[in-house]
Structure 1
């Protein structure tokens, strides 16, 4: 599994400011709708349902909101780089500025977990994170996220 298969170039945005987690989820929903043809409201509901189980802010300014959705036939992703970090209730209580949203079919099982592990490994790579924070061009951000890396254990 590769991030290039999960994340299209049009599913990457730089956003100046988002004022709440709810608004962030709406933005992610709009992105998944425009990039992959899903219904934004269904995506937002899925994100909020998953978030109610526990925050997806993993620390160090990174959030990995994700959801399993009925109307999806493959795993897809969207990425937002915020210019002004958002209070997200992360595990380390730090605001987030790098958000990778992942959407998987309801019955994706282990593939969803593999995709989440891949995204998590990528976002834990300090050189990737440094490059993401240093760039504001969505095409460059997409290239940074999808460049091939040697596989690592989860």
Structure 2
């Protein structure tokens, strides 16, 4: 499944993560992982349903880590009010602990909202996405994208698109 079937440009973001000793605005003490899931929920839903989606993402993450290794996580949650899967992508400025089996913190996050009845297709989709993110060149391209436009290009133009021209 190509990522452009799951993502739209507004649901791709580069997220600034404060240093571990910094507090987020308002002095909230949410874990960095929870802040990432909250941001993903806002991208997936808009502000009106973000809290419910963030809770669903956190509940799923508590069952088992969605980190694939190599700095990638695919948090996901089921939703009874949607008919097709959609996603949000975050590249984090500082990696965050997602309890990955390989011990590496995560800096590439593809969050998915999946229809409640979508069990078998979801498993196949996750396997396809895991294979895509297993490609070290693809991960490198995402990490080295110099801005949001280049990041969106790599995600939405298909696997390994031609490089964008560099400014002189």
Q: Into which bin does the TM-score normalised by the smaller protein fall?
A: 0.7 to 0.9
Q: Counterparts of 1:106-117 in structure 2 under 5 Å?
A: 106-117=116-127
Q: Is 1:135 aligned with 2:155?
A: no
Whether 1:25 and 2:37 are equivalent positions in the alignment is yes
Decide whether the 8 Å contact of 1:86 with 1:95 is kept in 2. yes
Separation of aligned partners in 2, 1:145 and 1:123: 11
2:16 is aligned with 1:6: no
CA drift at 1:114: 2.3
Which residues of 2 match residues 70-81 of structure 1 at below 5 A? 70-81=80-91
- Structure 1 gaps of 5+ residues are none
Q: CA RMSD in A?
A: 1.9
Distance apart, 1:9 and its partner CA:
0.8
Tell me the TM-score normalized by structure 1: 0.87
TM-score (norm 2): 0.80
SS in 1 for 2:64: coil
For structure 1, which segment, 14-23 or 99-108, has the greater mean C-alpha deviation from structure 2 after superposition? 14-23
2:93 match: secondary structure: strand
Q: 2:152 aligned with 1:146, yes or no?
A: no
Q: What secondary structure sits across from 1:71 in the alignment?
A: coil
Gaps of 5+ in 2: 19-30, 161-168
2:8/2:156 contact within 8 Å kept = no
> 1:147: how far off?
3.3
1:67-120 alpha-carbon deviations (Å, 9 max, x no partner) = 111121210011000111112211111111111111101001222122212221
